[in-house]
A and B are shown apart, each in its own frame.
Chain A
Amino acid sequence: MSITTLTFAGFVLLVLAVYYILPHRFQNAWLLTASYVFYLTFTWQFSAILVVMTLVNYWLARWLEQAERRKKALLWIGIGFNLAVLAFLKYAGYFVAQFTARLNSSGEPGALAILLPVGLSFTVVQAISYLVDVSRKQTQASTRPVDFALYFAYFPKLTSGPIERARTFLPLLAQPRRVDNRAIAENFTRIVVGLVRKMILANAFTALAPTSVLQDPSSSSPLALMAWLVAYAFAIYNDFAGYTSIARGVSGLIGIELSPNFEAPYFSRNFTEFWNRWHISLSNWLRDYIYLPISRALLRRNPSRGNIANLIVPPIVTMLVSALWHEAALHMLIWGLLHGIYQVVERIPSLRGPLIPVQKLPRWRQVAGALVVFVLAALAWLPFRASLPEAGRFLAALATNWPLLPSTSWMGLAGVTAMLVPALALDALQAHSGELVFLRWPRLVQAGLLAGVILAVFLVSQTYLNVPTFVYQGF
């Protein structure tokens, strides 16, 4: 059940209708049931794996908490178990193919599909941080099986996050929730903004970054290839950010606030900022459980900031782990390596002179920084999206086809340019005035916008319209 379908909307309404009537002590059990129903619409195999993961981690954590000895060994067994699940899923291409096929009935996996081996990789990282936190006594092992199972299975965040920590999420489940007019307005707005991002912007950008270009980049001009990269960068961003916004909105209607995951990442003026604004919940997880432990271990051996290992190893390893989490493939490692290198290079100047805060830089340098970050991030999306030979051919075509090919079509370029206007405007607005800025506008303006969105979403949802154009041959 994809979250942009009417089926999902109906499902949510049904879940909410029952949920609002139930007293708090039954609400979590109801949400758990609903979450498994939701998950079963994808595949029963994954639901079974999720049950096993829930049971194993629940008992391991309790054991870990009470253990006097061999705590470390137990923790590593737990981490190993969760990693084994992840590795199994990453290599079990069959499951992934099956899932993405169901995620998107048109058979064309959306930009988001690439991020998923199916939600369970999100569960794996949540499980690992839970065990680590319990072993460090930063959180108590849950003694409420229903709440714990819901922490893993909670349907708004099940398939693509945000990644929540047990120590902040479990208390939310324990408390009674309250959903008032304001909460409904805010979360309805999140859902609407999410639909705009995912169904209108991401759809349009995905259409403007067709796979065919990757298969034969040499027949496109460099300008068209650049437009393709821009379109892909905005497609993947709006697809994921749109998903998160919808997930947060739905969860907000339940009365549970999920973490934000994106804050206008393409306005970042350096890569440190980029990773604080892109897939934030994953970045924070990687920082807490990969980057900081490695960094501290190295600093304990040699506290000098300028030490080469201290400079290079933590960012590179962190980004490689991130890459492996996304997909166990060489091209994905290249994506991670690139981002690791970007961060290392970016930190070199701070070794020598005093750091000037990015917001205190002259305006032009901030803009230039944002442009450089965007270009480098877009180039890194290439190996994220394409196989290495494809990416190689793409770059070769980008470098050799200058100037424009005579057959250059302006339609794609015009399309990307036209779509960038609303995409950037939405980001600028939310970055400058807050995610829910729309609620401060006059009611008539809000209603007008909402009317436009309803119409646009309806028109876009008529997916049969995206029949590719026929170009005829005689027969």
Chain B
Amino acid sequence: MALSREDVKLQLRDFILKELLNNPSYPLQDDEALITGGLIDSFSLAQVGVFVETAFNVYIPDTDLTVANMDTLEQMASRVLAG
């Protein structure tokens, strides 16, 4: 089943707000800098990585779990869709 970009973003957003930010009502923008903006620390990327594995069955290698690749919701979605 092909995932739509919006689906991916929806699920990622939900995960980030609940699990990483502990703040489900935070108005997170698609292009908002999560790590360089200080919302989550770069170590939380491990959680993103594992979530992506389980939710989308996509393995993102550790070396790709970087601030440069995964700073915004938009970037994360692109990386997931890249497979």
Residues of A at the B interface (CB closer than 8 Å) are 133, 136, 138, 165, 272, 276, 284, 287-289, 291-293, 295-296, 299-300, 303, 305, 314-315, 347, 350-355, 357-360
Give the number of A-B contacts (CB < 8 Å).
73
- Which of B4-12, B39-47, B71-79 forms part of the interface with chain A? B39-47
In the complex formed, the residue of A with least CB distance to B46 is A295
Proximity bits, B52-83, A CB within 8 Å = 1, else 0: 01100000011101100000000000000000
Is A359 within 8 A of B46, CB to CB? no
Residues on B with beta carbons closer than 8 Å to the beta carbon of A360: 38
Is A292 within 8 A of B49, CB to CB? yes
B13-67 interface with A by 8 A CB criterion = 19-23, 26, 37-43, 45-47, 49-51, 53-54, 61-63, 65-66
Residues on A with beta carbons closer than 8 Å to the beta carbon of B19: 305
- Chosen A-B contacts, 5 in total, with CB atoms closer than 8 Å, are A287-B43, A288-B63, A293-B62, A303-B54, A359-B38
Q: How far apart are the CA atoms of A347 and B22 in the complex, in Å? A: 13
Residues on B with beta carbons closer than 8 Å to the beta carbon of A351: 22
Is B40 within 8 A of A287, CB to CB? no
Q: List the 7 closest pairs (A to B, CB-CB), nearest first.
A: A357-B38, A295-B46, A354-B23, A292-B62, A299-B50, A272-B41, A354-B22
Main secondary structure of the interface of A (DSSP, over half): helix
Q: A272-B42, A357-B38 are in contact. Are A303 and B61 (CB under 8 A)?
A: no
The minimal Cβ–Cβ distance linking B67 to chain A, given in whole angstroms, is 8
Q: A136-B61, A138-B63, A350-B22 are in contact. Are A292 and B39 (CB under 8 A)?
A: no
Is A303 within 8 A of B39, CB to CB? no
Q: How far apart are the CA atoms of A358 and B66 in the complex, in Å? A: 19
Known: A303-B50, A354-B22. 7 other contacts (CB 8 A): A288-B65, A291-B46, A300-B53, A303-B54, A305-B20, A355-B22, A355-B38
The minimal Cβ–Cβ distance linking B65 to chain A, given in whole angstroms, is 6
Residues of B in contact (CB 8 Å), total 26
Q: How far apart are the CA atoms of A299 and B19 in the complex, in Å? A: 13
Is A354 within 8 A of B43, CB to CB? no
In the complex formed, the residue of A with least CB distance to B65 is A292
Selected contact of B63 from candidates A133, A299, A303, A359, CB within 8 Å:
A133
Residues on A with beta carbons closer than 8 Å to the beta carbon of B21: 354-355
- Of A136, A292, A355, most buried by chain B (CB within 10 Å of CB) is A292
Q: How far apart are the CA atoms of A314 and B43 in the complex, in Å? A: 10
Q: How far apart are the CA atoms of A287 and B39 in the complex, in Å? A: 19
Residues on A with beta carbons closer than 8 Å to the beta carbon of B46: 291-292, 295-296, 299, 314
Q: A276-B42, A287-B42, A288-B63 are in contact. Are A305 and B53 (CB under 8 A)?
A: no
Selected contact of B22 from candidates A287, A314, A353, CB within 8 Å:
A353
Residues on B with beta carbons closer than 8 Å to the beta carbon of A350: 22, 41
Q: How far apart are the CA atoms of A292 and B22 in the complex, in Å? A: 22
Is A357 within 8 A of B37, CB to CB? yes
The minimal Cβ–Cβ distance linking A204 to chain B, given in whole angstroms, is 34
Q: How far apart are the CA atoms of A365 and B40 in the complex, in Å? A: 18
Q: How far apart are the CA atoms of A296 and B38 in the complex, in Å? A: 21
Is B51 within 8 A of A303, CB to CB? yes
Selected contact of B38 from candidates A299, A353, A358, CB within 8 Å:
A358
Residues on B with beta carbons closer than 8 Å to the beta carbon of A272: 41-43
The minimal Cβ–Cβ distance linking B48 to chain A, given in whole angstroms, is 10
Is A289 within 8 A of B62, CB to CB? yes
Q: A296-B62, A353-B22, A354-B26 are in contact. Are A291 and B38 (CB under 8 A)?
A: no
In the complex formed, the residue of A with least CB distance to B62 is A292
Residues on B with beta carbons closer than 8 Å to the beta carbon of A136: 61
Q: A138-B61, A138-B63, A293-B62 are in contact. Are A355 and B50 (CB under 8 A)?
A: no
Q: How far apart are the CA atoms of A293 and B26 in the complex, in Å? A: 29
Residues on A with beta carbons closer than 8 Å to the beta carbon of B20: 305, 355
Is B47 within 8 A of A305, CB to CB? yes
Q: How far apart are the CA atoms of A353 and B23 in the complex, in Å? A: 8
Residues on B with beta carbons closer than 8 Å to the beta carbon of A287: 42-43, 62
The minimal Cβ–Cβ distance linking A72 to chain B, given in whole angstroms, is 16
Is B50 within 8 A of A296, CB to CB? yes
In the complex formed, the residue of B with least CB distance to A351 is B22
The minimal Cβ–Cβ distance linking A152 to chain B, given in whole angstroms, is 19
The minimal Cβ–Cβ distance linking B62 to chain A, given in whole angstroms, is 4
The minimal Cβ–Cβ distance linking A429 to chain B, given in whole angstroms, is 21
The minimal Cβ–Cβ distance linking A263 to chain B, given in whole angstroms, is 13
